[in-house]
């Protein structure tokens, strides 16, 4: 299947990042969200990101303008009918994703592939609520999408080889490096990463070291570009907790129990950069 028009559900951090990457690689994009305010904010983020690339001479003014011209925004799902592939990039919430996927399934032509950008929810479970389970797949981008090279291509139990190959080829076209992953909570990267972040909260809660020293230890001792606590603030402490809750429920293993300090901070509304306060305080 030739992919030329990509539909994207969600104009938030992940959705607008995916839209930008698709548009800068010559694909037409229809970005859909629930209201104009969310779409305007998403488009403004894309514009600002392209301006930074222009200043760094990583693209020309003509390329910037062409990319923006390829992005169409809408609050109407009907505008997705011309897409050959639709990527759902809504909030990491099972009920919301199921609702969206059922709407898409009723609207889109049978041959259209639907992908979900999820960091922990079962691809097999989501595929089962659609009438196109063989044409459903996980396409997990990483934040910030324009800069991060990796895309996890997650096969559900029902995903066909043709669907996998089409989506893998798309990732390559977008300049990404895809890895193929079997369906399992957290897949590969977050299965390793989020428990490490959770353990950093246990270390912090036990008073073994300050947040700054914990982060410095992992940066300098393990050559990580950012410490686990600062990374949690960037991801969102609520997202980290949600992922750990999925692991704890799915694996029924105490090693995945969320750290009480992490739960307490989320309950307090200290979610990280997006709220101005997490492990660290942000202006």
Of 168, 106, 157, 154, nearest to 133 (Cα)? 157
For residue range 234-258, list pLDDT tens digits in order: 989 998 998 899 899 999 999 999 9
Contacts (Cβ under 8 Å, ≥6 apart) of 105: 114, 129, 130, 131, 132
pLDDT value for 19: 98
End residue of a domain, out of 182, 207, 238 = 182
68 plus 197 within the same structural domain: no
Q: According to the model, what pLDDT value does residue 1 have?
A: 72
Q: Is 11 annotated as a binding residue?
A: yes
Low-confidence ranges of the chain (pLDDT < 70): none
pLDDT at position 206: 98
pLDDT, position 119? 83
- Does the residue 28 lie in any domain? yes
Domain co-membership, 32 together with 163: yes
Q: For residue 89, is it within any domain?
A: yes
For residue 255, tell me if it sits in a domain.
yes
Considering the domain architecture, whether residues 80 and 147 belong to the same structural domain is answered as: yes
Are the C-beta atoms of 90 and 100 separated by less than 8 Å? yes
Residues labelled catalytic? 119, 140, 152, 190
CA distances from residue 44 to 17, 30, 40, 57, 101 in whole angstroms, order as listed: 11, 15, 6, 20, 27
Residue 236, marked binder:
no
pLDDT tens digits, one per residue of 23-74: 999 999 999 999 999 999 999 999 999 999 999 999 999 999 999 999 999 9
Do 74 and 135 lie in one domain? The reply is: yes
pLDDT for res 255 = 96
Residue 15 is assigned to a ligand binding site: yes
Question: Same structural domain for residues 122 and 208?
Answer: no
Tokens of 282: 């942000």
Q: Is 91 found in the same domain as 14? A: yes
232 in the same domain as 120: no
**Owning domain of residue 9:** 5-182
Is 14 annotated to bind a ligand? Reply is: yes
Q: Is residue 280 part of a domain?
A: no
Q: Is 93 annotated as a binding residue?
A: no
> What's the total number of domains in the chain?
2
Residue after which a domain boundary falls, among 182, 211, 231 = 182
């Amino acid at each position: 299947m030739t992919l030329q028009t990509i539909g994207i559900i969600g104009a938030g951090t992940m959705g607008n990042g995916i839209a930008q990457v698709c548009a800068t690689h010559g694909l037409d994009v229809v970005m859909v969200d629930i209201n104009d305010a969310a779409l305007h904010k998403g488009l403004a983020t894309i514009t600002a990101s392209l301006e930074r690339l222009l200043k760094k001479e990583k693209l020309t003014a003509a390329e910037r303008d062409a990319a923006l011209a390829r992005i169409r925004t809408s609050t109407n799902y009907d505008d997705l009918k011309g897409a050959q592939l639709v990527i759902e990039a809504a909030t990491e919430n099972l009920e919301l994703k199921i609702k969206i996927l059922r709407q898409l399934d009723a609207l889109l032509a049978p041959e259209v592939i639907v992908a979900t950008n999820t960091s922990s929810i079962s691809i097999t479970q989501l595929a089962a609520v659609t009438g196109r389970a063989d044409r459903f797949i996980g396409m997990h981008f990483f934040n910030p999408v324009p800069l991060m090279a990796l895309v996890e291509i997650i096969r559900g139990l029902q995903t066909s080889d043709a669907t996998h190959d089409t989506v893998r080829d798309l990732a390559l076209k977008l300049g990404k490096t895809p890895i193929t992953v079997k369906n399992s909570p957290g897949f590969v990267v977050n299965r390793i990463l989020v428990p490490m972040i959770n353990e950093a909260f246990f270390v912090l809660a036990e008073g073994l070291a300050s947040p700054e020293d914990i982060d410095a230890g992992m940066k300098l001792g393990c050559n990580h570009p950012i410490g686990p606590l600062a990374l949690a603030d960037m991801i969102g402490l609520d997202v980290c907790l949600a992922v750990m809750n999925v692991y704890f429920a799915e694996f029924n293993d105490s090693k995945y129990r969320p750290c009480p300090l992490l739960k307490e901070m989320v309950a307090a509304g200290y979610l990280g950069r997006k709220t101005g306060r997490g492990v660290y305080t942000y202006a």
